[in-house]
Chains A and B, each alone.
Chain A
Amino acid sequence: MSEFERTTGMRLTRRGFLAGTGAAALAAGLPMPALAKGQVIVGTWGGDYQALLTANFEKPILEKKGIEVIHDISGAPPRKTKLLAERVSRRGTMDVACLSDIDMFEMSKQNLFDNVDPTKVPNAKNIFKQLAKPYAIPHIYSGKVLVYNPNKMSPTSFADFLDPKYKGRIGFADGLYMQIIESAALVNGGSMSNYEPGKATLTELKKFEPKVFPSNETLAAALKSEEVWATVMWRARGFMWKKAGIPLATIAPKEGTTPIIFDAAVPKNAQNKDNGWAYLDAMLDPGGQVLFADRMGYVPTVNNAKLPDDLAKEIGFTEAEQEKFNIPNYEYIAANNAALLEWWNKSFKA
């Protein structure tokens, strides 16, 4: 009972109603409804992301509906591979797939997902129009910024990294190769449809011995030990690292910020589609989105979620910054990803 009160006390009335029915059932001396609505298998990242999904959406919303959530935890590449491998099968093993907007687009090109049905995902009507897409819901978003050690430097553009003063002090996460090439392209006459000029910038940058780390975590450790001073990263990550005590600041570079959206979709071959839609609807719950923002620094994707002002200032993007958003050209990325990764591995890292 106290669990109900605690959650309902701070959440929306709709859930208050749900909790009320549960309480009424108890009061009437009836057994709790079996609630055997089955399960939903969610392919997602582990760690904080999964913990927050559980705390903010699954426990307060889906558990009440009697839906048991099972997590299929991995990084994005294995999840993409799994979706592709299962595409010929009628029985998929995922009911919800979480991926970044770029990956989600690439997968949607293989016709893997059902379009979002607004009648099954009522909260979809609150999604910011510029984030919406037919095949997935945007769950949270952030933007690519410069993350740097304010005691050592104060860059305003990716171009500032090309400086002998910062020799060996620029660090990159291997997984963000696409975003780094894009950043490098934009300061060298490139565009969201042409990353090629980025290769020249990065070749130039190589003279200053930038370091590439195998994961975000190893990059964070290097920033913490001040082995490296700056990187390109999502503002949300920068926010989390700062909260973890790493001396960091973030800035939207002059050349503009590229938003990163973390999407969720229901595969065509999902076994529990209705529960999948229910899960997507829960992910758009404004209360949960605010808590996500507070913990992980990602900005809500629905217009009815209101962030406290100081938090919004820390993780959000100003009107001016939003105007300078560089919207990714997914077609271009999907067509060039393999070649760019090849160049990154063979030419830049070698």
Chain B
Amino acid sequence: MSVAFEEAAGGRRRSVAPALVGPATILVVLVLVLPMAILFRYSLNQFVPGQFMVEAVTIANYVRFFTDIYYINVLWTTVQVAIACTVISLVLAFPVAYFLARTTSRFKSILVILAVFPLMVGNVVRAAGWMVVLGNDGVVNAVLRWIGLVEEPVKLLYTPTAVIIGIIAVVLPYMILTLQSVLEGIDYSVEEAALNLGAKPSTTFFRIVLPLAMPGVVAGTVLVFILCMNAYATPVLLGGPQFKMMAPALYDQIARSTNWPFGAALAFVLMATTLTLTIVSTTVMQRRMRR
């Protein structure tokens, strides 16, 4: 009886699935895959100054990238900044997410909204805010001088540190929300059981909470890492003209040099790097989780 029923249900599901999946697949192909394919095709074209883009099939743009130490350095800077921002935001977000997940305060929803609040302001506006805070005449320097710690303003704006601070401020809410949703799902009594069995709070965190929160850590890390790798407005505004990450370099090629083929190649290198690092780190983290 039950087998027959399940088969019937399965059969019905099979017949409905294509109808549901079909339009979605077409939409994904149209919206995501097709533009990527076009962009990839562009990356194989040739750039002739003054003539814009000349049809060709050449890997010259990729060769140029990998043989030019400048662009290798731009990619390396991007990876370093992205990793730093991801790790720091993970460390900063975890206690906040844990608190939000565990608090029974009636202000909880307000606190969650506060955590999400920065997302309601655009990246550019937030970067502008950081410029006011970090500039030579900014809030930080004003305070430092007022306390008498420094006499000349400390250069904070247009430094890699400023970019890292700015990006972390952008991605932190994503990390907090991702971790919080997973931490909410961890039964608090499991932590109590560990304490009861003699585990100190720190041991409880590393042996129980962290492994159980691993899906959230992986999801949050991947999400934030991708956001960091593709950061544009923050590095441009807070890093200053001397500081280059991949997205601004890509923009330079497409919009300022009108070199679409090389810009497209940069886009693919960025995507491939992001994808590779994401897959590698996810695999490593999941293997550690299963341990």
Binding site for B on A (CB under 8 A): 77-78, 80-81, 84, 106, 109-110, 174, 212-214, 218, 221, 225, 227, 331, 334-339, 341-342, 345-346, 349-350
Nearest A residue to B153 by beta-carbon distance?
A: A227
Nearest A residue to B251 by beta-carbon distance?
A: A77
Q: Do the beta carbons of B50 and A335 come within 8 Å of each other?
A: yes
Kindly state whether residue B194 has any CB partner on chain A within 8 Å: no
CA distance A297 to B241 in the complex (A): 27
Nearest B residue to A212 by beta-carbon distance?
A: B241
Contacts of B257 in A (CB 8 A): 337-338, 341-342
Contacts of A227 in B (CB 8 A): 136
CA distance A214 to B36 in the complex (A): 30
CB<8 Å pairs between A and B, sample of 18:
A77-B251, A77-B255, A80-B255, A84-B260, A109-B51, A110-B52, A212-B240, A214-B241, A227-B136, A331-B50, A334-B49, A335-B50, A338-B257, A338-B259, A342-B257, A345-B244, A345-B249, A349-B241
Measured CB to CB, the closest approach of chain B to A196, in angstroms, equals 14
**Known A77-B256, A174-B241; further 16 A-B contacts with Cβ < 8 A:** A77-B251, A80-B258, A81-B254, A81-B258, A213-B240, A221-B135, A225-B137, A331-B50, A335-B49, A335-B50, A337-B257, A341-B256, A341-B257, A342-B257, A349-B241, A350-B70
- Overall SS of chain A's interface: helix
Q: Do the beta carbons of A214 and B236 come within 8 Å of each other?
A: yes
Measured CB to CB, the closest approach of chain B to A350, in angstroms, equals 7
CA distance A331 to B52 in the complex (A): 13
Measured CB to CB, the closest approach of chain B to A227, in angstroms, equals 7
Contacts of B260 in A (CB 8 A): 84
Contacts of A350 in B (CB 8 A): 70, 242
Listed residue (B70, B135, B252, B258) with the most chain A CB atoms within 10 angstroms of its CB: B258
Kindly state whether residue B85 has any CB partner on chain A within 8 Å: no
Kindly state whether residue B232 has any CB partner on chain A within 8 Å: no
Contacts of B251 in A (CB 8 A): 77
Contacts of A109 in B (CB 8 A): 50-52
- Which residues of B from 147 to 187 have beta carbons under 8 Å from A? none
Q: Do the beta carbons of A84 and B237 come within 8 Å of each other?
A: no
Given A214-B236, A345-B252, A346-B70 in contact, is the A338-B241 Cβ separation under 8 Å? no
CA distance A83 to B216 in the complex (A): 43
Contacts of B255 in A (CB 8 A): 77-78, 80-81
The 4 lowest CB-CB distance pairs between A and B, nearest first, are: A77-B255, A338-B257, A212-B241, A335-B50
Q: Do the beta carbons of B252 and A214 come within 8 Å of each other?
A: no
Kindly state whether residue B47 has any CB partner on chain A within 8 Å: yes
CA distance A213 to B240 in the complex (A): 7
CA distance A87 to B257 in the complex (A): 17
CA distance A339 to B52 in the complex (A): 13
CA distance A110 to B137 in the complex (A): 45
Measured CB to CB, the closest approach of chain A to B208, in angstroms, equals 47
Q: Do the beta carbons of B242 and A106 come within 8 Å of each other?
A: no
Listed residue (B49, B50, B51) with the most chain A CB atoms within 10 angstroms of its CB: B50
CA distance A218 to B137 in the complex (A): 12
